[in-house]
Amino acid sequence: MELNDIYTEIITEHSTSTRNRRHLEQASVSLAGKNPSCGDEIELELLIDHGRIMDASFTGTGCAISLASASMMIDLIKGKSLSEAKSLAELFTAMIQRKITNDQDLEPLEEAAALKSISNLPARVKCAAMPWHTLETAVETSNA
């Protein structure tokens, strides 16, 4: 199996998974993210306790890339502190903008590193980055 096939499989699995697509009953922060150029619209919900993300979810619609990216992000940030989540979002953004390309440096992103190849598809970069931008804003909002 080619590496690209594995990536495609991970993206497909996440974009169709409903595990992270639900409403949080007691969300501390709820924030909308949009990518008008593609029509992706998600609502990110975080349950934060003592500066830690205890639970996270999203609802909304979008293309496979945006949904997969949101789902991978939620898997990754659950249980993390707000500052950890923020630096992961910064790392993801640096990856998608090709500012960081070294696979070792991208290890903290776990499965989300599978979206690295999207950086070669300029039209889809915004789809992949949108959930992470939403997360950054949500973290800033809840820190205020």
- Judged by CB under 5 A, the stretch of 47-55, 69-77, 81-89, 127-135 that binds Zn ion is 127-135
- CA proximity to 7, closest of 143, 120, 126: 120
Instruction: Report, in angstroms and rounded to the nearest whole number, the Rg of the chain calculated over CA atoms.
Output: 14
Q: Dihedrals φ, ψ of 50, to 5°?
A: 50, 45
Cα–Cα distance for residue pair 99/82, rounded to 1 Å: 23
Q: From the list 40, 45, 55, 136, which residue makes contact with Zn ion (rule: CB under 5 A)?
A: 40
* Closer of 27 and 63 to Zn ion (Cβ): 63
Smallest separation (angstroms) from Zn ion to the CB of 143: 28
Single residue of 10, 47, 54, 63 touching Zn ion by CB under 5 A: 63
The length of the chain is 144
Q: In the set 10, 21, 28, 38, which binds Zn ion (CB under 5 A)?
A: 38
